[in-house]
Every structure is written in structure tokens, then in C-alpha cells.
Structure 1
Amino acid sequence: MSALAELQERLTSALGASILSATQATGELTVVVRRDDSLAVLQHLRDIESFSTFIDVCGADYPERAERFEVVYHLLSMSKNARIRVKVTTDEDTPVASAFGLWPAADWFEREAFDMYGILFSGHPDLRRILTDYGFHGHPLRKDFPLTGYTEVRYDEAQKRVIYEPVKLVQEYRNFDFLSPWEGMLPGDEKAAE
């Protein structure tokens, strides 16, 4: 039995109903946990299973789901040379317990997930915007975020001041052929024959 399979078995037996699913892919274990038990699972991984290195926490948006957001934690165990991904689902109104008490490095990552997706973290000491402007409304990485009708703030070097202007998302038409750009360098390259 592989080390990941053993870890998966230990976690499912120790944490029981807290784990909704566990899968292995590309040498990493992904565990989906109940939102209410997320902090207990993260603490178990840190204290019992030696996943002491916090890599990051990020968000993902699936607007077709009832719980549209996934909060994804990436952890590393140096002693086991293993990585684990922990996923928690939530909606727009229900907070996820902050991992700041376990890993202070989670601070800015959780603030980014709040700013970009609107994911709430209970117990976070300073949950406020980190990447967008103070008066910004909305969450830019949500799939339903409108691409027009907003203003951008930037420093204009010619005017030597901060200016506000409407967001312009112009892009010229581009024709993609989706073939290798390394013309003739790879065997079987379709462009090499032309």
C-alpha cells in the first residue's frame, strides 16, 4: 500500500464523518471535509499527521452549485514528503472557520479570498479588502462579475496623480490555430509539414 493510500485510510478512520470524500491524483491526496469540521481537520493534519507547512488557501467559484464556493487549502509535510489538498464548500452567506489561529500565514490568503470571491472567514482578526480599492463594490473573480460598468484607479505618470476612468476591456480579434508554436521542433508537429 502506498504512503498516500495509508494516509487516506488513517484520515478516514480517525476523522470519520468529517471527511466527505478523499481521492488521489498526480501524487497528491485531496480531501473534501464538512465546513463545520474544517478547523478540526486542519488541526489534526498539522498536529497528528505532520502537515506543518501551510502553502496557501484559495477560492474557486462554481455558480451552478447551491454552495458555490470552494475554499482550498494546500498543506505540505516535509517529514513525509507529501502534499495534501483540503476542500471546504460554502455559500455567499455562511463563513468558513479561519485557519489564522493554526497558521498565521493564512491571514493575507483569506483576505484575498474574501476580496476576490466574497468568501467569509469567521474568527479572522482583520477580514477586509487587500487587492481592490477601498470603495470597490463586488468581487472580481466571481464568474457572474460584470466586465463593464466599473471604474479603475491608476496612477497617470503624465498628470502626476491618481485618476479614475471607466474600465475598458478592448481586445482585437485574434485567430488562434491551436497548433504548436514551436514549428518543426517537436515530432508530429502539424505545422512542420506546411
Structure 2
Amino acid sequence: MVMTRSQTFDAPHMAGAEGDDNAETFSDSNPTPEDAGNLQILFLKRNRIHDEISRFKLWFETNNLSTSASRLRVRLRDFVRIKAQFDKIHSQIEALDDATPDLGQAATRLYFENAYYDLCADVEDAIEQKRVNTSSPAPQGNAPTSTPSPSVQLLPNVIKPFSGIYTEWLPFYITFKT
């Protein structure tokens, strides 16, 4: 798969992905028994790619908290290659399967792309979160730091509206001042 710089910029997780767009072309004639055999092989290859997504998702969900950002980046770089593989295999399936459009190839592509992009986004979010957590500046010398930590927040103070009754003014005022 050949990507332009703008496509790489729009999808930075695809920067290291390599694939080829030289997918086999198939004739537009009626499918032959050989095509049916090829179709079954392609279905098996596509299922293996779905299995890879499931394995990567399981690994990420179980190891996310204990894995460093650099290890996540390495895994993500390795993971993005399956998008090119899926596109190549699925395009071949669509070319062979034009005679029977009711097998839901568009739905399969949509399912794969949603799972793939959601998982890539989750991993990138985890990498960014780890980067933010580790990039907090160390205090220099005796100078106090006045930058609040973004992860610390006070609980919201719920103030009931003042009803106008004189006897309720003092509790309202004390709550308002705190």
C-alpha cells in the first residue's frame, strides 16, 4: 500500500505500515471451482487476521497498566501491518465474490475497520496518557511550583439555592464561603 505524506499525517499509526497494492486481479467471468477454493483460503486468511486483532486486544486489556509507553509503541507498530494485509485479502475476496453480494463483505470490512481503528486509538490514548504521567517536571532547587497537577481535582461543592428565609441565611452563607 502506497501512502502519501498527507495520509500518513492523518493516520500516524500507519506511518510504518507496508503493504503492496499489487493485489492479484481476477477475471470478471463466472467463478470457477478453482475460484471457490481460493475464496475458502482467503476466508481462512481473513479469519486469522480477525484472530490477531482479538489476541492484540486481549493482550492490551490485560497488560496496558503494567506496560511502558515504548513497549506499547513497538507493539502498535507491529500491529498496524495487519491493516494492509486485511485490505489485500479482502479486496481479493470482493473480486472473487462479486457474483454473490449477499455474503455481507461490506459489513465484514466495516466490522474489521471499526475494531482495528478503535483498538489503535485506545493504544495511542494509553501511550499519550503514559507520556503525560511521566513528563511531569521535577522541582528545581527550593523554588515552589505553583502548577497544579491535571489529575488532581476537588469534588464539586453543591450549593443549594438560597430560599430567602431569614433563618436559612447563615448556613447558606457558610456553605457559599467554603
When normalised by structure 1's length, the TM-score is: 0.24
Q: Which has the higher strand share?
A: 1
* Greater relative contact order structure (CA < 8 Å, 6+ sep): 2
When normalised by structure 2's length, the TM-score is: 0.25
Q: Which has the higher helix share?
A: 2
